[in-house]
Structure 1
Amino acid sequence: MKPEQFVNALNEQGISLNEKQKEQFAEYFQILVEWNQKINLTAITSEHDVYLKHFYDSISAAFYHNFTGNLTICDVGAGAGFPSIPLKICFPDLNITIVDSLQKRIHFLNQLAAQLSLKNVTFHHDRAENFGKNKQFRETFDIVISRAVARMSVLSELCLPLTRKNGVFLAMKGQHADAEINDAQNAITILGGDLDTIHTFQLPEENSERSIILIHKNRKTPRKYPRKPGLPNKSPIT
């Protein structure tokens, strides 16, 4: 996907980019490629693939949920900034918090935000299990989002404790999302969530399957969750 195709594809979804935003995406691509030579951020480095598989794919969350206004968003395990930084470029009023367990990635994200002149973006070097226990952040975010981090039974324990009551946990998945949801249903319920919708679509050009899973947080998460770092992955809630 070339940059002009990316702009046109977003237009078709009702998302219009101005010149500044187009420049921010172009600069994001350049910074990503430069830093990727120093630290391992992504295996995807061609302009065509970054615009399609990282930028467009990240923004697809906004095709199925409203991201306008000064919402508070927590991105769990953002890696090189996906999906929250592309969403922030498209919707500048968002208040973004990113938590990631690797200090090198946090350093990259700090530099990226500075070079792109992004405001109201904060980064935390922490395990999601510890971050979800922090009273300052626990059950405070309008939307908690995560892309390609862990299977749903694990991801729910990392994300729902951070989602405010009546907020939304949004998981971005590839194929087989239905099977993941079936395995995670009990965990989602225990953690205070209820499955709303699974939106399944194909990424343009390559036609690979993607799913956006929306879970509403209707009850407070029991205090014992999330459990100690590593335990959700080792022994998911069943």
Structure 2
Amino acid sequence: MRKIVILTGAGISAESGLGTFRDAGGLWARHRIEDVATPEGFARDPALVHRFYNARRAQAVEARPNPAHAALARLQAAHDGEVVIITQNVDGLHETAGAQNVIHMHGMLSGALCAACDARWQAPLAMGPGDACPVCAARAARPDVVWFGEIPYRMVEIGQHLDEADVFVAIGTSGQVWPAAGFAQQAARGGAWRVEMNLEPSDITGDFSETRLGRASEVVPVWVAEVLGA
């Protein structure tokens, strides 16, 4: 088990108070995905999109890592092989827990992006349509997050890690969002053992060698302890 590649989704952060877009009553439940998480939605109403992500950013700042985040950071520090963490989450909780070199395939709430020149900078807590790019001065600032219809970041690098994985683990993912939904199949082609950890079987549970059901804060630390023999 030399190289472990881990994909995390919204389910790992749910116990830190950050809901998924399928949760009832949360931020996502009050908005259509097409209005707040697509380039077209941003073009139609940038003020709405900024208000939505300002609220998400404020939530993320207050959130704290849970035992699942801590366990993965421990695994990365203690495993005698390589541990690569890829996340669909934009909250930064893996780093807060101590993880290193996390691949944020969907960007981060803490980042800002210029839609005009692609410059990136640290996002303030609140952004608005009038915010100017510090590089080109265009009033085209947007959150540096990947929206539906856009290509996730670092896909070539992610593909290389999946091809090299001895073990691939998916934690808190629904198996409904591509291209991440195809990661288990890609890892399987390279001979990796595939482990799914989720509250319930995902839409792609058949792509995994093993499924462990339960809260991430419970099942992830148990699995990490098994891997580390402690």
TM range (shorter): 0.3 to 0.5
Which one scores higher on RCO, CA 8 angstroms, separation ≥ 6?
2
Computing the radius of gyration from Cα coordinates, the structure with the larger value is 2
